[in-house]
Structure formats: C-alpha cells, structure tokens
Chains A and B, each alone.
Chain A
C-alpha cells in the first residue's frame, strides 16, 4: 500500500479523474473531499463489508428454512410507486424510487460535513 503524508488543503490524484482533498484534520478525524466522475461508485468501506456480511448471514440462515417446494417462477413484485411518482420529478411525499443525479454531490457535501 502506498502511504502519503498530506496536510489540510492538499490533494491526491488517483488516475486521470479522481481527486481526493484533505479538507481538515482534527484530533483523530480526517475530513476528505472526493471528486470523481459520475459512474464511479464511492462508498465507505465498512458499509460494503457490512452488506457482504449480512448477505452471507442471510444465505446461511436460509439453509435452515423449510417451506413448500416452488412450482414455478414467482411473479415479480409490481413497481411500488405511488401514482404521482410515475412522474420522474419528486412530488409531495417523494417517490419510492428516484434516480438521483446528485449522488456524488451529496456525498461530497457529506464528506465536507
């Protein structure tokens, strides 16, 4: 693993289009800002690990589950969108599923606190 020492305000480039900036350092906390193209997923590593562990636990727990044998494929669940939500814009109450174009921006903001 490459280890670099950086100060607040200094940046690191990863490849051509990912930039990491050290926003601030206080006690044992570092605030990082990440700039990456849309389409590059950015997650906190422990979140991914938690989901991996839960999936493994789910599979393991399912082995002990009984139940009638399936006859044929299940119907897919219908789209669970309130009628107003078929509109792609966010309406009162919010859709069950909204494409977000601001995902990275949101994370970026969060990274800055």
Chain B
C-alpha cells in the first residue's frame, strides 16, 4: 500500500505490516489501517502510523520495558474482536503522551493496544483495572535516552 504521510513522506507499506483496527481507536473512530514504524533503532518506542488517515501518528511503547509486572486480563469481548485464540500470539503496545511543558513522557496502561500477531488484527482495549491509569510516568527530564524526543532533530 502506498501512503503519503506528513511525517515520513511517501511510503510503500507491505501488506503483511498492515494492522487492521476494525473498531477504530477511542477518539479516532475513523482509524482502520495502521502500521508500526521504528522511532529509532533499538528503541522501545514505535510510531503507530495511520494509513487511511496519514495525518494521525501516535507514539507507542512496549510497556513491559518499563513495567515488567504489567499484567492484563483481556476481556472476552476484546479477545473475540481480535480473533485471539492463543495468548502467545498477542503483542502489546501502549500509547505515549509527551508532556512537552514538563519534559516528561507518560503512557496509557489503562487502554493498551493488543495485536493479534497471527492475523494482524489490532484493538485498543479498555481495562477496568484499578492498578492502571491513563498516565503512567515513563521518563522525566534527564531520564531514559528514549525520553529525549523533545529536541526536534529534523
């Protein structure tokens, strides 16, 4: 699929890299097809680039890199929506919000994105779990190297 994105320019995205969000994202119901793109080599951050609306791109993180005990129970509705039969076929990323004024990054552990790696179906899942909130601190000024994304390098 050829897509022209404001951030990455024109890209040719192979079919096998396309993630399908049949139910959109909360706040972005129009999102259908996305792909994950590296933020930087070796980074736990990835861009979630929307392909059907190329203006939408969000940062994601592998939550377990920061929260090893992150433990989610996938509601049955969501498992069914993902056609997920086997938990080992699930990959999880969480959305990142950059608090530019505070030079900090937070991630939303309350609503992870779960990917069925076998079918490439993906879905944002709301966990009704008191342990997780929409803003868990990832890094503050002087923290992880990955947090230094405030300086535009382009």
* Chain A contacts to B: CB under 8 angstroms: 38-41, 43-44, 47-48, 50-59, 61-62, 64-74, 76-81, 85-86, 88, 94-101, 103-104, 107, 110
A81 and B87 contacting across the interface, CB-CB below 8 Å = yes
Which one of B87, B95, B117 contacts A99 once the chains associate, using CB atoms below 8 Å?
Answer: B87
A47 and B126 contacting across the interface, CB-CB below 8 Å = yes
* Chain B contacts to A: CB under 8 angstroms: 7-9, 11, 13-14, 17, 25-28, 35-40, 46-47, 49, 56-59, 62, 64, 70-80, 84, 86-93, 95-100, 108, 110-111, 114-115, 117, 124, 126, 128, 134-135, 149-154
Write the nearest CB–CB distance from A54 to chain B, whole angstroms. 4
A61–B59 alpha-carbon span in the complex (Å) = 9
Which one of A52, A67, A69, A74 contacts B27 once the chains associate, using CB atoms below 8 Å?
Answer: A52
A65 and B110 contacting across the interface, CB-CB below 8 Å = no
Known: A74-B36, A79-B117, A99-B79. A69 touches B97 (CB 8 A): no
Write the nearest CB–CB distance from A61 to chain B, whole angstroms. 4
**Residue of B13, B59, B88 contacting most chain A CB atoms (<10 Å):** B88
